[in-house]
């Protein structure tokens, strides 16, 4: 009889142990301790910013920034689960808790800040256009009137041009920048607009060498921030990590590594919490 009681007690203890382990697995555990997975949203189709390569690796400035931040939060690179964060999906991914934070050429805007919180900024980019190298018809922003202008669904870039600069521009919204680039190469569209950092990444790719050129238009200031769920204490922790990244030289190294081949001039790192309008 005593043996039976011991067996039942042991079984109960085992069940409690398994249940606790299951709960830990479901909620991802402590987000700030090494060895636990952390899910980070990035772009998968932006060379120089966030790119998933054919061999399954991830490269780009945002990837390097996110990896550094994750390390400061206590996570090794092997702890990171990369998740694609398309422009139209970013707020939803954060609100649902599908990701811990997003570093995906995510410009800080008042409208977005109503839904999510932003750490940073960690890069100041400028809106520009990418056009075919042999196209001399677009020499200034106003020349985009009556041109087929492409950007991605959920991005503010094309709307900025149509509202403020070229009201007669014909907007074409695609699911990703790579689709816009194909349309530009095939002359289905006339120009691709987004941040100069993203465009420089594409222009620097070996397969596109000599095919495209940047317009050189600074049509807006784009303050890249790291998005977190509204009210998350990760914002303060990420800001501390970003400040350290700038101070120890890792930020400059990441800029040179990812944008150097395209001669992209990033300027100095922006001050945390200061938005350039």
- Sorted by where each begins, the domain ranges of the chain are 38-124+222-262, 126-214
Once rounded to an integer, what is the mean pLDDT over residues 36-60?
Answer: 95
- Residues 132-181: pLDDT tens digits? 999 999 999 999 999 999 988 877 788 889 889 999 999 999 988 889 99
- What's residue 4's pLDDT? 41
Using the 8-state DSSP alphabet, how is residue 215 labeled? -
3-state secondary structure (DSSP) of residue 225: strand
| Percentage with pLDDT > 90 across the chain | 67
- What's residue 17's pLDDT? 41
Asked whether residue 210 carries a pLDDT value surpassing 50, the answer given is: yes
- What's residue 5's pLDDT? 39
Stated length of the chain: 277
Instruction: Count the Cβ atoms, other than its own, within 10 Å of residue 71.
Output: 17
- Residues 49-84: pLDDT tens digits? 999 999 999 999 999 999 999 999 999 999 999 999
Once rounded to an integer, what is the mean pLDDT over residues 17-38?
Answer: 48
- What's residue 16's pLDDT? 38
Query: What's the whole-number average pLDDT of the chain?
Result: 86
Asked whether residue 209 carries a pLDDT value surpassing 90, the answer given is: no
| Residue 118 near residue 63, CB atoms below 8 Å | no
Alpha-carbon span 195 to 124, nearest angstrom: 10
- Residues 237-254: pLDDT tens digits? 999 999 999 999 999 999
Q: Concatenate the DSSP letters of all residues of 27-56 into one string.
A: HTS-TTSTTS-EEEEE-SEETTTEEE-TTS
Q: Concatenate the DSSP letters of all residues of 87-154 into one string.
A: GGGHHHHHHHTS-SEE-SS-B--HHHHTTEEEEEEEEEEEEEEEEETT--S-SSGGGGTTSEEEEETT
> How open is the CA angle 116-92-57, to the nearest 5 degrees?
100
- What's residue 229's pLDDT? 98
User: Is the fold of 38-124+222-262 the same as that of 126-214?
Assistant: yes
Strand 116-132 to strand 45-46: parallel, antiparallel, or no bridges (unpaired)?
unpaired
Give the pLDDT band (50/70/90) at residue 205.
confident
Task: Please check whether the domain covering 126-214 is classified as CATH 3.40.190.10.
Answer: yes
Give the pLDDT band (50/70/90) at residue 220.
confident
Sheet (strand 50-52) strand order: 45-46, 50-52, 58-59
Look at domain 38-124+222-262 and name its CATH class.
Answer: alpha beta
**HSE of 211 in the Cβ direction (CA atoms, 13 Å)?**
17
Cis peptide before 121 (omega within 30 of 0): yes
């Amino acid at each position: 009889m005593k043996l039976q009681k011991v067996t039942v007690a042991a079984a109960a203890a085992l069940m409690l142990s398994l249940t606790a382990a299951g709960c830990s697995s479901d909620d991802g555990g402590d987000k700030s301790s090494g060895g636990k997975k952390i899910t980070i949203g990035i772009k998968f189709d932006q060379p120089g910013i966030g790119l998933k390569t054919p061999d399954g690796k991830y490269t780009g400035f945002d990837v390097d920034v996110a990896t550094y931040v994750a390390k400061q939060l206590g996570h090794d690179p092997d702890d990171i689960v990369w998740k694609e964060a398309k422009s139209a999906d970013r707020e939803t991914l954060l609100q649902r808790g599908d990701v811990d934070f997003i570093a995906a050429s995510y410009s800080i805007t008042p409208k977005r800040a109503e839904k999510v919180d932003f750490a940073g900024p960690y890069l100041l980019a400028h809106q520009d256009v990418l056009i075919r190298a042999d196209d001399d018809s677009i020499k200034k922003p106003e020349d985009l009137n009556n041109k087929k202008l492409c950007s991605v669904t959920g991005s503010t870039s094309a709307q900025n041009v149509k509202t403020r600069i070229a009201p007669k521009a014909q907007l074409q919204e695609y699911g990703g920048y790579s689709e816009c680039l194909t349309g530009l190469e095939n002359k289905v569209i006339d120009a691709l607009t987004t941040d100069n950092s993203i465009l420089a990444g594409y222009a620097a790719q070996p397969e596109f060498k000599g095919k495209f050129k940047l317009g050189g238009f600074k049509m807006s200031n784009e303050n890249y921030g790291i998005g977190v769920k509204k009210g998350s204490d990760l914002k303060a922790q990420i800001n501390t990590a970003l400040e350290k990244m700038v101070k120890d030289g890792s930020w400059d190294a990441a800029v040179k590594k990812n944008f150097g081949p395209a001669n992209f001039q990033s300027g100095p790192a922006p001050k945390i919490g200061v938005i350039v309008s």
